[in-house]
Amino acid sequence: MAEYIVNDQPATRGPYPLTWDEGFQDFYSELHNRPFPVLITPARLSHIALLRDKSLGTNEQQHALELEHLQALCLRYGMSPPIDGAAGYYQSFGEFEVRWERHSEFCTYTFIVHGNSDTPFSEPPIALLPEDWVAGLPGKVVTAVHIEMLPGKTSGEDIRSREPLRPYFEGQRLIGCELLDGGAEVWSAFRLHSDNFNRVLLYNHNVSPCQSGRLMRGLLELETYRNMALIALPLAVSTSHKVAELEQRLANTLAAIDQLQHCDDERHLLSELSQMAASIADLMASTRFRFDATKAYYQLVLSRLKELRETEIGGLQTMTEFVDRRLTPAYRTTEAARHRMDDLSRRTDRASDYLRTRIDLQIEAQNQSLLKSMDHRIELQVHMQETVEILSFAAISYALVGLFKLMLGALPLVSVNVDKDLWGALFVPVSIVLVWLLFRVVKRRVVRRNRDNV
C-alpha cells in the first residue's frame, strides 16, 4: 500500500490511485482535537488557563517551554511524555489525570480525580501535583476554577436550597440553574475564593459519563473564554480616554480651519492632521487584535451557554442572565472603543481631504493669477516688440535711403544733371517696400522653424 507524507510523518495513501492533498488527513484529525473527557460521577477537577508571557519569548519558544515542563512531570512519574510539537496531551497518572491543550493565546491544564472528597472543594486535584512543578508553570494565570461533580439528589433530599451550599462557597451569594433540560444542576458564586480559584458545584441527576464530559468541557470553556473576553476591558477604557483626547484635538482643528488666512497656516494645520492620523493608526494597530479576539471569545461564550440548555430554578438567576448582565457591557465597551476609533479615523481623513482641497484651490487661484500676470507681461512684450519693429522698419528704411544717396554721390554723373534729393525722395517708397518684404520673409522663416520644432 502506497504512502505519502503529512506533517513530516508518513501516512497511508489507501488502495486507490488518487492524488491526495498534503493536509488531507489533517482535515479529519482537526475535527477530533481537544476531545472531551469521559467522567464517571463523582469526580473533581481543577482547571487553569495560562496566558502566554511575552517575557518568555515567542509563542513557539513558550510552547517548547510548556512541553518541556510537561515532560519533566512525566519523568517524575515515569509516564510517556508528549511528543515535540504536540497541541494536546491527555494522560492518566494513576491518582490523577492530566489534560493539557494549546490554544492560540493561552494553554489550559485540567487535573481530574475520580471520586469525591469528604467536603466539596476541600481536596482539589491540583493539590496532588508537586508544588514546585505547579509554581514553575510558564505563563500568567487568567482562569482558575475547581469543579466538583456529585450524584444528584436522593429520596427526600432537596439540594435546590442554597443555604446548605453556602459553606462550600465561603458564604458568598450563589447562582444556580438546571442544565441539559434538567439532567444536571450547577451552582456557583462566580467569585474568587480564599485560594484564588472560582468554584462550581455540579449535581448529576441522569447524565451519562460521555454527556458529563461534554458538559464539563462546556463549563470549563465558558469560564476560560469569559475571562479571555474580559482581558480587553482595561485596554478599552484607556483607549477611550486616548480617543477622547484625539477627538478634542480634531474638534479644535476643525474650528481653526475657517479662521485660516494664509496657505502656510493651512499647511501647518494639515501637518498636524497628518500627525493625528498617524497616532490614530498606531492606536488602532495596537488594539485591533485584542478587540477582535474579544469579539470572538464573546461569541464563543454565547455559544457555550446555548449548548448548556439552562432551565431556571425557583426564580434564581441563570448563568446566561448573569453573564449577559456582567459580560455584555464589558464587550460593548470594547466595541464602542473600536467604533469610536474607526469613526475618528474617518473624520480625520475627511478633515484632511477638506484641508487639502482648500490648499489645492488656493494654489490653483495663485496659478491663475500668475498666468494672468504672465499673459499681461507677454502682451506688453508683444506691444514693445511691435513698437521696436516699427522703429526698426523706419530706421532700416532711412538707412537704406541714405545708402542709396551715398551711392548716387559716388557715381560719375557730373555730365548728367541728376538731382540727388529728388532721386532719394523717389527711392523712399522703394526702400519701404523692400524692408517690408525683408521683414515678411524673416517672420515666415521664424514661424516655419518654430512649427517644425513643435
| CA dist., res. 178 & res. 310, Å (int) | 5
pLDDT-above-90 percentage for the chain: 40
Bridge partner list, 97: 92, 112
| CA dist., res. 424 & res. 399, Å (int) | 12
Same domain, yes or no: 222 and 277: no
**Residue 113, Cβ density class (10 Å: 0-12 exposed, 13-18 middle, ≥19 buried):** buried
Q: Is the preceding omega at residue 42 within 30 degrees of 0, hence cis?
A: yes
335 in a structural domain: yes
393 in a structural domain: yes
Compute the half-sphere exposure of residue 266: CA atoms within 13 Å on the CB side of its CA: 20
Same domain, yes or no: 65 and 166: yes
Contact of 223 with 198, CB cutoff 8 Å: yes
Mean pLDDT of 285-313: 92
Same domain, yes or no: 131 and 272: no
Mean pLDDT of 54-60: 83
Is the confidence at residue 276, as pLDDT, over 90? Answer: no
* Domain endpoint, select from 175, 197, 229: 229
DSSP 21: P
Is the confidence at residue 19, as pLDDT, over 70? Answer: yes
DSSP 122: S
Bridge partner list, 16: none
172 lies in which domain range? 36-229
Select, from the ranges 31-45, 138-152, 401-415, the one with the highest average predicted confidence (pLDDT).
Answer: 138-152
62 in a structural domain: yes
Mean pLDDT of 272-296: 89
378 in a structural domain: no
113 in a structural domain: yes
* Domain endpoint, select from 170, 200, 229: 229
Q: How many separate domains does the chain show?
A: 4
Same domain, yes or no: 117 and 200: yes
Cα torsion at 419, 425, 427, 430 (round to 10°)? -160
Same domain, yes or no: 339 and 446: no
* Domain endpoint, select from 200, 229, 258: 229
Same domain, yes or no: 404 and 283: no
Same domain, yes or no: 77 and 8: no
pLDDT at 107: 93
3-state secondary structure of 341: helix
Is the confidence at residue 159, as pLDDT, over 70? Answer: no
Is the confidence at residue 3, as pLDDT, over 50? Answer: no
| CA dist., res. 453 & res. 40, Å (int) | 98
Is the confidence at residue 14, as pLDDT, over 70? Answer: no
The confidence band for 278, taking pLDDT boundaries of 50, 70 and 90, is confident
Selected residue with higher pLDDT from 268 and 262: 268
Same domain, yes or no: 288 and 171: no
379 in a structural domain: no
143 in a structural domain: yes
What are the contacts of 249-253 at 24+ separation with CB within 8 A?
249/276, 250/276, 250/344, 250/347, 250/348, 250/351, 253/351
Least confident range of 152-156, 176-180, 237-241, 340-344: 152-156
Same domain, yes or no: 410 and 353: no
Same domain, yes or no: 15 and 108: no
The confidence band for 437, taking pLDDT boundaries of 50, 70 and 90, is confident
| CA dist., res. 34 & res. 353, Å (int) | 51
Mean pLDDT of 39-66: 90
Alpha-helix residue ranges (DSSP H) falling in 43-180: 59-77, 131-135
pLDDT at 254: 76
**Residue 140, Cβ density class (10 Å: 0-12 exposed, 13-18 middle, ≥19 buried):** middle
303 in a structural domain: yes
Mean pLDDT of 104-112: 93
| CA dist., res. 129 & res. 111, Å (int) | 9
The confidence band for 1, taking pLDDT boundaries of 50, 70 and 90, is very low
pLDDT at 6: 41
Same domain, yes or no: 43 and 120: yes
Same domain, yes or no: 116 and 71: yes
Is the confidence at residue 160, as pLDDT, over 70? Answer: no
pLDDT at 430: 77
